Copies of this chain bind each other. A is one copy, B any other.
Amino acid sequence: MENRRPLILISNDDGVTAKGINELVRFLRPLGDIVVMAPDSPRSGSGCALTTTNPVRYQLVREEEGLTVYQCSGTPTDCVKLARNVALKRKPDLVVGGINHGDNSATNVHYSGTMGVVIEGCLNGIPSIGFSLCDHDNDADFEPAGPYIRKIAAMTLEKGLPPLTCLNVNFPNTPELKGVKVCEQAKGAWTREWEPCPRPGDPNCYWLTGVFSDSEPENEKNDHWALSHGYVAITPTTVDVTAYSFVDELKKRCLDL
């Protein structure tokens, strides 16, 4: 006799006041009841980090029909864990991270707090999606992404996702989106990652920065390619990181141990 609206848990890594998460709430409100549990300050690059050396706090920010907003002192992953196990009375039907101010395609998936939200939802057996826009601006324009976000979320609410599988969706920074491409994670590495900021008595001081070097820039299967050609990149992502293709060879090697 299920007759209630879907429950959608939203978090991010840019913090509860970021434009991206508030636009996401606006886009998804027609689909269900929304609970936001998001960091009280920016937490970019959190990956799946947990808070282990301090207690974690949360508090109600706002409550209205179909929308409850909490802020939390912890990481994006803490936010999902705390919402799921403490603040929410039932299991969410969907966990959504974002909309991130910045690209989470390619190897960025490992560093992304937005994808930390999504991985945590997925590990808990909840269909989970991360949305990111390739624009770091505080006032980035999320409007072109809106219709896609609503459709991808509705499709996922309706059809679910396979076990251990979530979605990493990235939008290029263009008002003219060419449509959706299902992609593979681009391979490559960050280069030129440290900008010196020395001062007297503290010579070894650096800001993290960097340039992503794509190892296969012409590979049309990759999310990085799709983004640079104006497509919405949807990369299905697994939380089972076993390297199955290496198991047999490794077993042979380990006979010598």
Contact = CB atoms under 8 A, between A and B. Distances in A.
A124 interface: yes
A57 interface: yes
Choose among A47, A48, A75, A243 the residue with the greatest number of B CB atoms under 10 Å from its CB: A243
B116 A47 contact: yes
Contacts of A1: none
A45 B50 contact: yes
A52 B45 contact: yes
Interface in A231-246: 234-246
Interface in A217-257: 234-247, 249-251, 253-254, 256-257
A28 interface: no
Contacts of A53: 42, 44
Interface in A144-196: 148, 151-152, 155, 159, 161-162, 164-165, 167, 179-180, 182, 184-185, 187, 189-190, 192-194
Contact of A110 (B119, B185, B253, B257): B119
Interface in A99-143: 107, 109-111, 113, 116, 119, 123-125
Given A49-B111, A57-B202, A123-B110, A81 B208 contact: yes
Q: Is the interface of A mostly helix, strand, loop or mixed?
A: mixed
A251 B226 CA distance: 14
B257 A180 contact: yes
A194 B85 contact: yes
Given A46-B47, A49-B113, 6 more contacts: A42-B53, A44-B53, A48-B48, A165-B243, A165-B246, A236-B243
